[in-house]
Structure 1
Amino acid sequence: MAEGAPSTLVQSLTDVVNGITQIGVYRRTHKKECANLTRRVKLLAPLFEEVKELKGPLPEDAIVCFNALEKALYFAKQLLLLCHDGSKLYLVMEMKAVSGKFQEVTAELAQALDSLPWDQLDVSVEVREQVELVHTQLKRAKGRVDVQDQLLQDIETILDPECNEDPDESVLERLSEQLELKTMTAVKQELKALQSFDRGGNVDEGLKKMYHILKHLTTVASKTDNISSSDLKLLEFQSADKARNAAAAATEKFSSAEMAEKFSSAEIPDDFRCPISLELMKDPVILATGQVSNAWTYERACIQKWLDDGHRSCPTTRVPLPHYSLTPNYVLRSLIAQWCETHGLEVPKKNNRPGKHGTHCADVSPDAAAVEVLLNKLSTGSLDEQRNAAGELRMLAKRNVENRICIAEAGAIPLLVKLLSTPDLRTQEHAVTALLNLSINDNNKGAIVMAGAIYPIVDVLKSGSMEARENAAATLFSLSVVDENKVTIGASGAIPALVDLLRDGTARGKKDAATALFNLSIFQGNKAKAVRAGVVPPLMKLLVDPNAGMVDESLAILAILATHPEGRVAIGSASAIPILVDLIRSGSPRNKENAAAVLLALSMSDTNHLADAWKRGAQGPLAELVRTGTQRARRKATQLLDQMKKLNLDIAKENQ
């Protein structure tokens, strides 16, 4: 990024942060590392938004810092994309290497923030507090590897030479379940991800092992999708040359006579023939009969003509149809394309003409047809159907940004909001989590709020299952990223419910609640609400609980609340001085800094707190903080020492 274009630089930073927040759900491996990195990056967004509003040119030091941040954030985005849609086998088998990348990008972000010139940037105290919290979390983040012993053991079993070509079926099924490679669609996506490592044509030993495992997992997926094992020669993993040779053969140009001769000489698998025309399918679609075992695939043009002629049953089974939607069978189409390439045949072209009963799949996203069916179930289905449909939408919305856009545009948000009021806790949980996943897309945040979701979400936060309450808190945090939503959420009664979750929730629930409370408390009007809801006692409890791992988060919230008169009274009444002095003495650099900030705020409003800190020996730790602390910590410590000196002089005068 050119240093002469600071506004472009800041916009680029905003764009990459937004891109990271929209990536979505990650693979099971490294999921926690992805979540932590994404959460921390997301908290940097308010800084860039405020900097964009500043008048005049950016200081040179800020431009240098932001250039370093941009580089680190792009690195973070690429790593997160790998964990979102990269090879699942790679992420497991190269677990330590990927974790090393997370350590590297974390260190780069922390190093970039080291040089942030706060004294030259006129940003709000709240935003600075938030970014400094992130900075400390990045600096103290430790490398970790999510070792999954059973997964690795199953992989070693399959790779064991003694297994030869016949691994234990239970091992394969367990591995396909853990890696979420149970269907041919998933297997095809995994193959594509593996091939992205193979662009140079050299297949190293590690990649060969991954191909070998995937080849075995294909047998499990073929059973799930009812595909004949005799037709699974499409997955020729032995070398990249075979794939390239097949692709080259598929691009050869044949005359009509030559093509007809080739098709006639190749025996077309029965599964690839349309049950109506008995010809090779060009555009296979699924006609649902309401029973999974009775779902049949046809050539689109053939089954569309059947429906256009007025038939209302499956032409093969004669089972009445619950609806007339045609769902593209991407798995089978991929199999047909692979079979054609293997036999040197041109992949058949689809007919793009839409029929009466639906739009052609080329015009919609891959899950659009499924979304339409699910929305019908949400609006008119039984309770079981609504629960299942909400659960499927929840999973679809996790998958990618396209699905989140498709689901929202199809009109799912009002239907999901309505389900938040259902007495069925599982349905409620699916609905609030689906809204959480949809809210990842910034354009959906406004639609969710406009649909009247905030008050029902707060109801779930108050009385839902624990998982639903956690996800409701996370949803409120996501929506509160928009400043005007902070006011609406604060007025909805959410803050007392978040305090309840902070006090009584699981470890994850407490973190979700703390994150939401921190973000909401940036708005001045919400600080008093949080204090009156009783947020200070649980925060003080978390400060002295080493097992909770929430000292940084608790102190950051207290530092915000200490800027409000009611917050200072509540913190001062909670016997905070001994804890604050102890943190200044032995806490982490970030803890010392925030503890000094809270102590200064209390002391300036009530000198009794200052006297208490002095009696407890705060002078020594404060003097040390002046010498070794961060710039902000040194400033706070210096002010406190000046206040103590003045207090002692006043006491001396009174005693004369």
Structure 2
Amino acid sequence: MGGNGKHRWKISFHRSSTHSKQIQPPKEFLCPISGSLMSDPVVTSSGQTFERISVQVCADLKFTPILEDGTRPDFSTIIPNLAIKTTILNWCDKSRIQHPHTPDYASIENIVKEAKAASAGNQEPIKVSEKELLNAVVDNSPVIFSHAATELGPRVNHFDSGSSSEESVIIGESPGTPLPFTLRPTCFSPSSSSSFEIEVQNPNVPVSEEEESLLKKLKSNDIFEQEQGVLSLRSITRNREDARVSLSTQRILSALRSLITSRYVVVQVNAVASLVNISLEKTNKVRIVRLGFVPFLIDVLKGGLGESQEHAAGALFSLALDDDNKMAIGVLGALQPLMHALRSESERTRHDSALALYHLTLVQSNRVKLVKLGMVPTLISMVKTATMASRVLLILCNLAMSVEGRTAMLDANAVECLVSLLKENELDSEATRENCVAALYALSHGSLRFKGLAKEAKAVEVLRVIEETGTERAREKAKRILQTMRGFGDGDDEEGSEFDSGLTRTRYRVAGARNTNLINTTTF
């Protein structure tokens, strides 16, 4: 009994030690203002997430804090961040700690007052004349956000799964080839836009002659001056990498943001193309999202003309490459417009929209959103008709890594579809075949239902052929699927981790030597 008692005591001690190591919540679960675990997180139009009451206190005290990256959030519009709230609650349950409670208003008020006092003590007051304020209002007329809303709720699938384009993406195009300055002498009205803050610039901050010259044109009321400004900015940021950093100032970005909503297509096309070029620098990606560009890009993707949509898709793809942006882009409503853009007549729009979706679905919250939006049947339909099969399979591989995604894919007859593709040998490359097998493998993991569906689809014969003749990764995945179907390897955690690792290695090898299309290097 004594030995058993000691043994039990050791096990209990070990678990307690493990729990203590996990008690610190991830940084993204903490409110940047209060520093505490968020109970009611909301996302702002500039992309950051805060505790709701913290935003309310800041609004009541008319204070906008400076964040760690030097930017200020835009509190003009907030929406519930249900994805991060669910993630926090799940983390609390796994860590065996209580769910967070709504903070006391007074305690948050004290924190904000201290921050406000410190901010006032560290900055010299800026004197602004009435004339300057009126000019700022003229340059940045306030309008209201009307469309940024979480996409977590179930939506009707507006896509016709029975029809799709027969065109395939030509992946071999050089990603370094800039688009020509093609201008269309027409205009359109965006569906909605966002409120601009009045930006008062500290006169002590130096401004380069190049920036001053561009600003004068970008902020001009003369449309021809605006055109010259965005054309110059596009050319400079396309040809000079250093300019993508030096010209990504708040002045330039704020002026550029207002021009993305221009009714003049010449201005809008080149404004969005300039943003793509600036976003190529990693240091700019998070800043651009936090300055509220995503809703404008979504509007252009929904209602812009061809070239504007191409650049908007390219910008969202570029911004989605940064892990800190993925959740915010999904919460701000980009998933459904990107899905619709997969049907675009423009090859470039389809290509960049698919890659944006691929990177966004690396995050669990976006996988769940895409499933709840009812997009899985659409993706399966596109694979069946060979519409961007290689790209769509990458998205499906990501979705299949979640329980919700696997369930939706099994419901949409994904097993039969994938087996048929492998059986008919109509896939365009070995890399696409690998992704097809990888998607099947993801569906097979821990799923008894998969076995029955795979047997109905007569997958054994097809998988045996791949096991003998496929690439190394395809053979390994086919072997493991066959083991699962025979009753081995079900629920093996180690096997699941090997799948995740294997898929990660595969992600950047799609289309073999043409894998440069998975990184954002194109300038416009």
TM-score normalized with structure 2 length = 0.50
- For CA contacts below 8 A with separation 6 or more, give which structure has more relative contact order: 2
